[in-house]
Amino acid sequence: MRAALLVLTIVAASFLVHSWAAFNCFKTPEGKRRCACIGDVNCSEMRKSDNCKSDLQCDNGQLGAVICSCEARRI
């Protein structure tokens, strides 16, 4: 639950700053690289982008929209 809240906060902040972004890849406070998205369309775009090196992990929409995240590839 704590990780989901962190992802939600980061994704929400990224949408406020970059409203054009379908998804956001970032470094967590623990130093891991993650990508996250909100909604089916944005998460579909993230899935197609090849930025994820792990399968998407999605919640069941309890917060009003599906939120997904994955471990990001290193650049």
Question: Phi, psi at residue 67, to the nearest 5°?
Answer: -120, 125
Q: How confident is the model at residue 13 (pLDDT cuts 50, 70, 90)?
A: low
How far apart (Å, rounded) are the C-alpha atoms in residues 69 and 25? 9
pLDDT tens digits along 37-57: 998 889 889 988 889 999 999
Q: Of all residues in the chain, what percent carry a pLDDT higher than 70?
A: 69
3-state secondary structure of 33: strand
How far apart (Å, rounded) are the C-alpha atoms in residues 40 and 32? 24
Check residue 72 and give its pLDDT.
Answer: 93
